[in-house]
């Protein structure tokens, strides 16, 4: 007996054309499941980056030693910070700000001379991640005359903990969703095979081997998975194109919403590849169930 | 005509779960090139006997040799090659409802990995022989009962099998078509195919004077070289 | 015996999509209480004619009155009551594979909303009459072909229908069973059921000297009070 | 023709018993879909309450006028705060804390007298929501001698915005998930009906009305939905019983993780009722498809 791999693909395509209803249901199920999973992953990633960016509307203060040269330090900081907004804060300005921030307790500052406060250089870095903020702060240690580098740490640390917890909750939910997706899709493909169990039986009765019967089902599963995954990716990209501009406007940061960030190649690959793998595995399981019967 | 045995049963029993025996102590032999009728009342075990031969059901006990191989102990992976040497006309046709007539008839050839061109040629020839060349593109459910039955016959014959098992192959055919189909089966027999036909139709047994095996309640009650024995009953 | 017409066809045509006509210019009448055989070669249009009568297919043109109602223009909601007055033995049985024999036979009664007790009683009686009392709890696929056919006959008879349409009801039965089943159908006819039996079996036409309508290629080629006309062919 | 409603339930149960594979797949699909949706809802609600509680580890400061009686104010605050932890902070303590909080800028306080700072009463209210914190702060205005009431507002406001955004993102995702669930479940039930289309056809051929054929399918859909929903609720409660103690320990607050909060009766009802409605609608759609054919 000659095995003709191409004939399996042909037979799979024929079977799909023969049962457009089943094919539509299978591809539709794969699409919905993969789209939901992909959307979840994209939103999860996007939200995390957005939160980080938004929380990381970071202001880094480089406090200088009393003997330091403020303008020189500001120039050095501008260079180290690579074009970010840099502001020199002389002691008088620092005192003004401190007074504003103390609110009802500002009275303690009455009669205090500005000279006791250190001059500082402030670097604004909107939309950078915590890790980037840390790295930048470390680099800014090299500013000549720098005594201490501070970046809104208390707040940032808290946000960092929050993000970590959110990420865990999100990942756990994502795991459940991915598992549910796999179960639901394999159930659907299984029903599809179930509806064709007579066909399987008849082909075996006229002398088909298990492999000959099984192969087109597997090819079909892979094709349906690829199709469902491709549709899911297309829908995600469409949704992104639709929503990203508005969202960026509403949130005020655009970079973390770029297409390559929200729907990265890894996600595209995961959806299409995952769809194909899911289709293959589900079909294999389902056909096996009916083949291995006496 | 026959010397070598193609099918041999020794004290074969078949008992379906929760039933009396469908086949009891069946012992018989079908030689290569023979043409045998299998007859008996409804529920006698004719279909069961055929199912055992092409390994659709396992025997409960006894020995059953097909092409010299003991199919009582056959491994699952040896079943497909065996079945490919056997053409079967199923009593309930077992056509694939979502494939055309031509595709249905092509299945046994495709299963053997024949090239599509050869498949198409052979299918066309056999469909013409059963008078269905105009129905090649139709689906089984849009055929009349007799047309479906002829598709089943065509599928069994298309691969020139060494052994043909036909279960009531003319039950839905008018007398003229019956003769046509039986002549086809005879022609296959003349080309060397061993034939077992299960039938109730006494006129067939009378017209074709061949060996007749009669079953009743699962037992072989007569095995004669022609219809003579039953003619009296 | 017959005076009032139960089924009337006037120039009925039936053409399936992409086919020649399966029924052409059919004009005939079946009176209340009549027993009619419908015969003709494979593909002549016998099953098609029966399908038109119980509204499984619409006629392409012509007038078709069943119980005096023009079913060419019947509303979907009037179809079920009409069908409940008709018992049908389908050529391919159309049994529900996942229901037992008794459940299959019970369906026409359940559809009518009979009480479960009455259903059980009637089912038991009719199953005994076709010799399947021992198979009541089995599933159709574990029956022999002839047994399945008798289940189909039992289902058609169980509701004491005003009209019985039997499509090749004995094709899978041995001669003795055939006589038994035909006697059942005759008994129903004697109780007042109008009967139309489509068959190829000439021995039936000979044995039961009844009106025979012969079709060929969709046309009524003869309509005689008994088998005389065809006996010569 | 007599319609027997009970007979429809009987026939539905028989059909489910007859096709255990299909029934298992349908109930399984409903279960997985409803469980995922319910889990999502529960985690969403739980996370929101947790975040609120955690962010609301609130410390409310009641600043007193210079002439106020600190012990009396503390007693009044304790009464108003209803048994929460209350601490009187005299000016000296306030200065110490301010110094600690200023870090590198603490030098400005050198030589400052404690008297310039107001005395205050601090109320700690761990685990209350923002709204509750606001209400409590409002009540504390009534403390005799209170000049100003302050609750870590800047931080809290930010968290509040964050929570609002998260809630929107979560609700949007939840909507997509619920829709996907509905589509997937109805696909599966549809395939189940598809596998039984021959049965439908045969019953119509022997005289069954559409309603007679349809009713058991609808009952079946409802029963499967109820079963799937009940299983989902049971699984959620089980998961809650398993995780809540650990989570409470890890997070340090237990109240928002109580069973009635995480799996509230409304969610139970939504899952079971939603399952039944989904089963009914999907079955009705699916059977309709095959009934309305000629
Ligand atoms: N659903 C259908 N769609 C298309 N063609 C059909 C359909 N049903 C029947 N035909 C065609 O109509 C013709 C008459 O068919 P019908 O089933 O009425 O024949 P019949 O007399 O019952 O034959 P048989 O004795 O073989 O059962 C046949 O040629 C058949 O192929
Ligand atoms: N799969 C099965 N499970 C249980 N019992 C079965 C099964 N197949 C057949 N039987 C029973 O075995 C007996 C013999 O059946 P078989 O089909 O061999 O009869 P048959 O001679 O072909 O009859 P027919 O002429 O009616 O087709 C019958 O009583 C039948 O009910
Ligand atoms: Mg048989
Ligand atoms: Mg017919």
Residues D137 and D224 placed together within one structural domain of the fold: no
Residues D86 and D200 placed together within one structural domain of the fold: no
Is residue C41 within 8 Å of C34, Cβ to Cβ? Answer: no
Q: Which of B34, B33, B40, B45 is CA-nearest to residue B211?
A: B34
Determine the structural domain holding residue D31 and report its residue range: 5-54+157-292
C51 alpha carbon, closest ligand = 1
Residues A28 and A87 placed together within one structural domain of the fold: no
pLDDT tens digits for range D247-272? 777 666 667 778 888 889 999 999 99
Report d(CA B162, CA B33) in Å as an integer.
Answer: 9
Chain B touched by A3 (CB under 8 Å): yes
Residues A90 and A115 placed together within one structural domain of the fold: yes
Give the Å distances, CA to CA, from A268 to A176, A245, C204. 20, 21, 70
Residue C228 has pLDDT above 60, yes or no: no
pTM, full prediction: 0.83
Across the interface, whether the CB atoms of C94 and D205 are under 8 A apart is answered yes
Q: Is B172 in the pocket of ligand 1 (CB under 6 A)?
A: yes
Q: Select from D151, D176, D195 the last residue of a domain.
A: D151
Side-chain half-sphere exposure of A279, counting CA atoms within 13 A? 30
Residues A223 and A259 placed together within one structural domain of the fold: yes
Positions of chain B with pLDDT under 70: 1-3, 225-233
Q: Select from A95, A117, A151 the last residue of a domain.
A: A151
pLDDT at residue C232, rounded to an integer: 41
Is the Cα torsion angle A31, A33, A38, A43 positive or negative in sign? positive
- Interface size between B and C, measured as CB pairs under 8 A: 85
Which of C60, C85, C89, C96 should be substituted to probe chain D, the one whose Cβ sees the most D Cβ atoms within 10 Å?
A: C96
**What DSSP letter does each residue of D209-254 carry, written as one string?**
-HHHHHHHHHHHHHHHHHHHHHHHHHHHHHHHHHHHHHHHHHHS--
Question: Which residue puts its alpha carbon closest to atom 19 of ligand 1?
Answer: C43
Q: Which atom of ligand 1 is nearest to the CA of B147?
A: 26
Residues D82 and D23 placed together within one structural domain of the fold: no
D window 19-58, beta carbon within 8 A of C: 19
Q: Which of B64, B111, B105 is CA-nearest to residue B85?
A: B111
Residue of chain C nearest B134, judged by CA positions: C19
Residues D39 and D120 placed together within one structural domain of the fold: no
pLDDT bracket for residue C231 (50, 70, 90) = very low
In b/e form, how buried is each residue of D171-194, taking b as 16+ CB within 10 angstroms? eebeebbbebbbbbbbbbbbbbbb
Residues A227 and A262 placed together within one structural domain of the fold: yes
Ligand 3 center–CA B47 separation, angstroms:
4
For the record, the structure tokens of A175 come out as 């795991």
- Give the domain CATH number at D106: 3.30.70.3040
The shortest C-alpha distance from B103 to chain C (Å) reads: 19
Question: Which residue puts its alpha carbon closest to atom 5 of ligand 2?
Answer: C142
Question: Which residue puts its alpha carbon closest to atom 2 of ligand 1?
Answer: B142
Residues D130 and D164 placed together within one structural domain of the fold: no
Contacts of residue A2 in chain B, CB cutoff 8 Å? Answer: 113
Task: Kindly give, in sequence order, each residue whose CB lies less than 8 Å from that of residue C41, ignoring residues fewer than 6 positions away.
Answer: B146, B174, B176, B177, C200, C216
Q: Select from D114, D134, D151 the last residue of a domain.
A: D151
Residues D166 and D26 placed together within one structural domain of the fold: yes
For the record, the structure tokens of C56 come out as 């499984």
Report d(CA C164, CA C195) in Å as an integer.
Answer: 5
> pLDDT tens digits, chain A, 294 residues: what are they?
456 678 889 889 988 898 888 899 899 999 999 998 898 888 888 777 776 665 656 678 888 888 888 888 888 888 888 778 888 888 888 888 877 777 666 767 777 777 777 888 888 876 666 677 778 888 888 888 888 887 765 566 666 676 777 778 778 888 888 898 888 888 888 888 888 888 999 999 999 999 999 999 999 999 999 999 999 999 999 998 988 887 777 666 667 778 888 889 999 999 999 999 999 999 999 898 878 764
pLDDT tens digits for range C21-69? 999 999 999 999 999 999 999 999 999 999 999 999 999 999 999 999 9
pLDDT tens digits for range C147-196? 999 999 999 999 999 999 999 999 999 999 999 999 999 999 999 999 99
The shortest C-alpha distance from A13 to chain B (Å) reads: 13
pLDDT bracket for residue C3 (50, 70, 90) = low
Across the interface, whether the CB atoms of C94 and D18 are under 8 A apart is answered no
Across the interface, whether the CB atoms of A184 and D184 are under 8 A apart is answered yes
Report d(CA D168, CA D189) in Å as an integer.
Answer: 31
Report d(CA B160, CA B164) in Å as an integer.
Answer: 9
Which of D184, D252, D253 should be substituted to probe chain A, the one whose Cβ sees the most A Cβ atoms within 10 Å?
A: D184
Q: What are phi and psi of D5, to 5 degrees?
A: -55, -40
**In the structure, which protein residues have their CB atom closer than 6 angstroms to any atom of ligand 2?**
B 16, 19, 22, 40, 42-48, 91; C 142-147, 172
**Predicted-complex ipTM score:** 0.85
Contacts of residue D18 in chain C, CB cutoff 8 Å? Answer: 98-99
pLDDT tens digits for range B205-224? 999 999 999 999 999 999 98
Total number of domains in chain A: 2
Residue of A25, A40, A147 with shortest CB distance to D173? A40
pLDDT at residue B89, rounded to an integer: 97
Residue of B16, B43, B172 with shortest CB distance to C91? B172
Residues A95 and A185 placed together within one structural domain of the fold: no
Residues A175 and A84 placed together within one structural domain of the fold: no
Q: What are phi and psi of C138, to 5 degrees?
A: -85, 165
Strand order through the sheet with C5-15: C21-31, C5-15, C61-66, C69-70
Q: Which of C145, C180, C166 is CA-nearest to residue C89?
A: C166
């Amino acid at each position: 007996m000659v095995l003709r791999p191409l004939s399996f693909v042909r037979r799979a395509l024929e079977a799909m054309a023969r049962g457009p209803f089943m094919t539509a249901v299978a591809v539709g199920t794969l699409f919905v499941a993969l789209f939901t999973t992909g959307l979840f992953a994209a939103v999860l990633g996007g939200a995390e980056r957005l939160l980080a960016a938004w929380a990381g509307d970071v202001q880094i203060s480089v406090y200088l030693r009393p003997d330091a040269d403020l303008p020189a330090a500001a120039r050095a900081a501008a260079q180290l910070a690579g074009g970010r907004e840099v502001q020199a804060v002389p002691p008088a300005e620092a005192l003004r700000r401190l007074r504003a921030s103390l609110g009802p307790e500002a009275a303690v500052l009455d009669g205090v001379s500005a000279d006791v406060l250190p001059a500082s250089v402030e670097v604004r870095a909107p939309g950078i991640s915590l890790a980037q903020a840390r790295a930048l702060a470390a680099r800014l240690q090299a500013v000549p005359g720098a005594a201490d580098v501070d970046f809104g740490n208390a707040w940032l640390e808290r946000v960092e903990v929050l993000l970590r917890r959110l990420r865990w909750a999100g990942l756990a939910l994502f795991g459940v969703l991915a598992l549910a997706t796999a179960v639901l899709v394999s159930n659907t493909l299984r029903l599809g095979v179930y509806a064709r169990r007579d066909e399987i039986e008849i082909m075996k009765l006229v002398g088909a081997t298990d492999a000959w019967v099984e192969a087109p089902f597997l090819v079909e599963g892979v094709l349906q998975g690829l199709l469902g995954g491709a549709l899911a990716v297309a829908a995600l990209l469409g949704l992104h194109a639709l929503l990203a501009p508005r969202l960026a406007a509403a949130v005020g940061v655009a970079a973390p919403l770029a297409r390559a960030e929200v729907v990265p190649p890894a996600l595209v690959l995961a959806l299409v590849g995952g769809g194909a793998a899911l289709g293959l595995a589900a079909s294999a399981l389902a056909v096996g169930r009916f083949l291995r019967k006496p | 005509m026959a010397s070598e045995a193609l099918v041999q049963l020794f004290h074969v029993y078949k008992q379906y779960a929760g039933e009396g025996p469908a086949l009891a102590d069946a012992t018989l032999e079908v030689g290569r090139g023979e043409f045998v009728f299998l007859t008996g009342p409804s529920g006698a075990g004719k279909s069961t006997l055929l199912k055992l031969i092409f390994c659709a059901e396992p025997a409960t006990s006894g020995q059953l040799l097909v092409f010299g191989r003991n199919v009582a102990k056959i491994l699952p992976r040896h079943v497909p090659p065996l079945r490919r040497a056997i053409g079967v006309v199923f009593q309930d046709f077992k056509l694939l409802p979502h494939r055309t007539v031509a595709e249905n008839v092509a299945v046994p050839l495709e299963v053997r990995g024949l090239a599509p061109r050869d498949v198409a040629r052979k299918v066309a020839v056999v469909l013409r022989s059963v008078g269905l060349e105009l129905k090649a593109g139709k689906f089984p459910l849009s055929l009349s009962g007799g047309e479906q039955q002829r598709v089943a016959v065509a599928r069994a014959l298309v691969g020139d099998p060494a052994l043909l098992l036909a279960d009531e192959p003319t039950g839905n055919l008018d007398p003229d078509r019956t003769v046509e189909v039986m002549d086809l089966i005879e022609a296959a027999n003349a080309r060397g195919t061993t034939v077992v036909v299960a039938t109730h139709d006494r006129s067939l047994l009378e017209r074709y004077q061949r060996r007749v095996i009669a079953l009743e309640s699962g037992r072989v009650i007569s095995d004669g070289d022609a219809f003579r024995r039953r003619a009296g009953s």
